Chain A
Amino acid sequence: MTLLTATKVKHYFGGLCAVADFNLQLQSGELMGIIGPNGAGKTTIFNLITGVYRASEGSIRLRDVELVGKTPHQITALRVGRTFQNIRLFRDLSVLDNVRIAHYAQVHYSPLEALLHIGRYRREEQRIIDNSHRLLSIFKLEHLAGETAKNLPYGSQRRLEIARALAIDPELLLLDEPAAGMNPNEIDQLMEFIQWIRQEFKLTILLIEHQMKLVMGICERIMVLDFGQTLSEGPPTVIQNDPKVLEAYLGEGSIG
C-alpha cells in the first residue's frame, strides 16, 4: 500500500529551482534513503512534505490526503514526524517538556479545562507524562527528564530529537541526517536502532544521509538527487553501480 505519493513537485526560492521534478511513491513500512551532494534539495523535500514550505507546483499526498496547502501542525497531526539536520530542540526547556510538547495534538482537553485544571486535564496529563517517560526510557534518557535540553551531550540531543519525533505517534518518520557528527561505532548503533524503532513503532521511514555506510546498510531503496533533479532510484546494489551516480556523487570516494 502506498503511504506517501509525490507527483511533479517543484519548488523555487526566488529564481533558484531547489526541487525540479520530484516524484516518489513510498510504500507503507518501507525504509528509504535520499542521498545527494550538498544543496541537492534533500532538506527542501522534507520541508515541502511537512508544510514548512508550500510546493510551488505539484502534489504531495499522504494516503488520499493532499498535504500541499496544509500547515505543519496539521500535517504533523496526520502522523508525520521528523527530525532536523541541525538539531532543533527546545533548548531552554526540560528533556521531558521537549517530548511532552510533541503530544499536543493527542492531548484532549479544552482551554477551559486547562485554565481550571478540571475535567479531563488530570487524566490526560498523567497519560502523556507516562508516555513521555516510556519514550525517554527507550532512548535511555529517563534519568535526564528534568535536565535542560541544551545541557545534554550531542549524542543524547540527537536521541532526544528522535524521541520527540516519535511522541507525535508518527506513521511516517522523516530523519534528516541522523548520523551527522557520529563516529563509526555510533553509526553502527544507530543503524541497529533505526531498524529496531521501525519494527517497534511500525514506521515507514524516509531518511537523508551522507554516511554511505548507513544508507547502503539499512535502506531498501535509495533515491539520488542532484541540483533538484532525481538522478537515479533503486535498491542499494543498483545505486552503487549506476555510472551517473558514481560520477555525480559517489566519485568522491566516499562509498564504503
Chain B
Amino acid sequence: MSAVSTTTASRVHTDPSRWRDLVDSDERAEFAASVRAHLGARFGPDAARACFDAAQPAEAWREIAAADYPVIGLPEAMGGAGSIVDAVAMVEAAGPALVPLPLVSTVTAWQTVAHAGRPSEGRAYEVSSERRAALAVVDGTDELVVLDGALADEVVLVDVRGAAVRVSVADVSDAVTAVHRHVDPGRPTAVLDRTRLSETVLADGRTDVDAVLAPARTVLAADLTGVGATALDRAVRHALEREQFGKRIGAFQGIKHRLADVYVAVERARSLTRAAAVALASDGTSDLSAAELALLAKAAATDAAVDSTRAYVQVLGAMGMTFEADAHLYFRRAQQTAPFLGSAADCYRAAALVRREDHR
C-alpha cells in the first residue's frame, strides 16, 4: 500500500459497516425495553432496600430463570441464543432495577466460559438458567473475593498465575467462608476458600489474561453503564422539580453543567461497552483488540457510574443522605461493582499497555 503511515490509527480497519451492531435493531430495543419493564416492576429500589434487613430474595431467581436471562447471548452449544451484544443490552436494561440477585455475576461467569476457547474435552460446557454462578480471578492466595458470590451454585475460576490462563468451574457447596454485605447487600461480596473447591478445567489454551477477561469486563461495564444512566435520569427528574431562589435548580449552570458532564460520561461508557461487545461477537474480525476495548469500557463505565451516582446524591441535597431516598442504593451498587476486574485506573493503564504492545 502506498501512503499508509504507521500511526496508531493505521491498524484500524476503515470500513465502518462492521460496527453496525453498535445501534440496536428494533428487535433488540424491544427486548431491552421488556427487560427494563419486567425487572423494574419485579425489583427496583424497594427490593434493594429490603436487603438491609433481610436476606437476598433467593426464591425470586425462579422468575429470572423462567425468562432465561442468564443464558441470553450464549452459544447454542451452551444452551443459549443470540450474541454477547444481546447479553450486554439485557444487563444494561437491568440497571434501574438494582436486581438483588446474582444475574450479572452469572452472566459474567458464563460469558467468560463461552469465549475462553475450546473446552479441553471437546464439548461445550452446558449451563442452565436455574443455576446461579459467579466469577473468581485466581491471582494469589486461596482466599477468593467474589462479586455477588453469596448465592452462587457454581463458580468459574480464571487462574492467571501460570503462562497459560486456566478457566475452570466448580460447585460452590460449602466453600463460602464469609459474606460482606455492608457496601451493597443486594449484591454482596463473598469470600471463597479455594482449597474446598473441586475444579473441572474448561479451557487452558490462551495466554492473554486481558483477552480471557474481556467478556466479563464488558458485562460489568454494561451493568455500570446502566446504573450510571439510571442515576442521571433520576437526578435530572429531581432537578426539574426542586426549586430554590425562585427557580428550578436544573436552571443553575452548576447543576446543569455537572449533569451534562455525567451525560457525556455515560454515553462515552455506553459507546465503548457496545464496541467491546461487538468486537467480541465478531471474534477475529474486529479491528481493535477486544481485550483493549473491554478494558476501556470497564474503566469508562466505572467512571460514569461513580460520577453519576455521586452527582445524584449531590443534586438531592440533604435528602441524598437518607436511607429512604434511593440515591445511596445506586451509589452503593456502583461502589460495590467498581473495583472488580480492575479499578478504572488499573484498566486505563492496562489498556495503554495493550495498545503499546500492539503498536510494536
Chains A and B are bound partners: no
Give the interface of A toward B (CB within 8 A): none
